[in-house]
Amino acid sequence: MEHEIIVYHNPRCSKSRQALSFLDQKGLDYKIIEYLKNPVSEQELKLILKKLRINAASLIRKGEDDFKQNFKGKNLTEQEWVLAMVNFPKLMERPIVIKGNKAVIARPYDRIETLL
């Protein structure tokens, strides 16, 4: 059985919309999770990081106001970065596309090819 494709999506993000368009052009079914409306849990985020094979700090959007106002210049632990993204979901890089035990940050969108 083929693994479901899951996209952590922000509809206001052009890169996120490009990723969905790419999947549509390939004729692939996927599930959208609008993570700003339905924030990820701590456990879910840790699983995403494991599938991405990166640490939490690598998933942080350092240009976001939430980062600049609350975290810039701070040296946080892995757990503290995870909790930061749980509490401030805009900090998460996007879009994240998952299939099975693998995931990519789809910037650029054609990185999704590595999952197919």
Catalytic residue among 13, 47, 54, 115: 13
- Report the residue count for the chain: 116
Closest residue by Cα to residue 91 from 70, 73, 75: 70
User: How far lies 56's CA from each of 18, 48, 80, 110, in Å?
Assistant: 24, 10, 9, 23
Q: Is 32 a catalytic residue?
A: no
Catalytic positions are: 13
